Amino acid sequence: MTTGELSGGGRPSEDHIVQAPGAVIVLDGVSTVSDEEPRGGWYAEVLGNRVASVLAAGPDADLRLVLEQAIAAIVSEHGLVAGSSPAATVSMVRHGGETIDALVLADTPVIARTVHGKFDPVRDERLAQLVSGRPEYEEYRRWLLAGRGFGAPEHRALLQKLRTHQIRHLNNGAPGGYWVAEAVPEAARHAVVRSWPTADIADILVMTDGVSAGVEEYGLYPTWEDLAQACLTGSPATVVRAIQDAEADDPDGRRWPRYKVSDDKALAFLRFASVDGAVDA
């Protein structure tokens, strides 16, 4: 496994990659508009370490149960309260001999490539669907497309509108809502899961949305294959740097409307086999 991580700038990254025996956990601490503590980065780090401990104690357990137990332990230990707790998106990949298992909760995708060169994305798109087309989101996009940038007080106010809408649909089973790791252990039961025979998989990309944006929003890597090949011919570290450099060339978000100038980035590349007919770099 190789990895690449970068802070979006200004403070330590809230994205974390945690390794456990036979597994990797990638987490993205949910950013907040305020500077209240504890922050999502703290939660992501603590949760990632707790997930690794639960996995070590039960290496064959259902990944949803692993995550649920980890969230419950943190809620109990730190007295977290639903709706006012820090939060994180989570993805896990576990290699257990003949099988590879994956879990995704919120927008931290896992992208598997088979030995035949086909891609099988594991996505949780409920948050994106909640925001897409909302008046608050379209107003925010117009602000950035007009070149008004990220620095004005109005920018913070627009983000707060979006955040308020999201909070109303967080971890409560509301129609059109979404689930994320926070202070409701039940959220883990709603994660997206997938399993593959190990013999079928060439490699797997596990990333936060600061990296997936390089494919899906910026087009720096037009396809998942391009991103996987960039990890092979270069490294995940060069990939995250290229995405960060592109964001620096669009400092007002005019070309690519987004929530901040540069997001934190974490990318893990797991290599299992060669793709049929391909020559490794």
Q: Where are the domains of the chain?
A: 2-271
Lowest mean pLDDT among 124-133, 246-255, 266-275: 124-133
Rounded Cα distance between 27 and 105, Å, is 10
Q: Which residue has the tokens 């949305």?
A: 209
The two tokens of residue 136 are: 């608050």
Residue pLDDT, tens place only, 244-259: 999 999 998 889 888 8
Q: What is the mean pLDDT of the chain?
A: 91
Residue pLDDT, tens place only, 32-47: 544 555 689 999 999 9
Rounded to two decimals, the pTM is 0.93
User: Is the pLDDT higher at 163 or at 70?
Assistant: 70
Distance from CA of residue 94 to its chain's centroid? 16
Can you give the pLDDT at residue 79? 95
Can you give the pLDDT at residue 281? 45
Fold topology of 2-271: Phosphatase 2c; domain 1 (3.60.40)
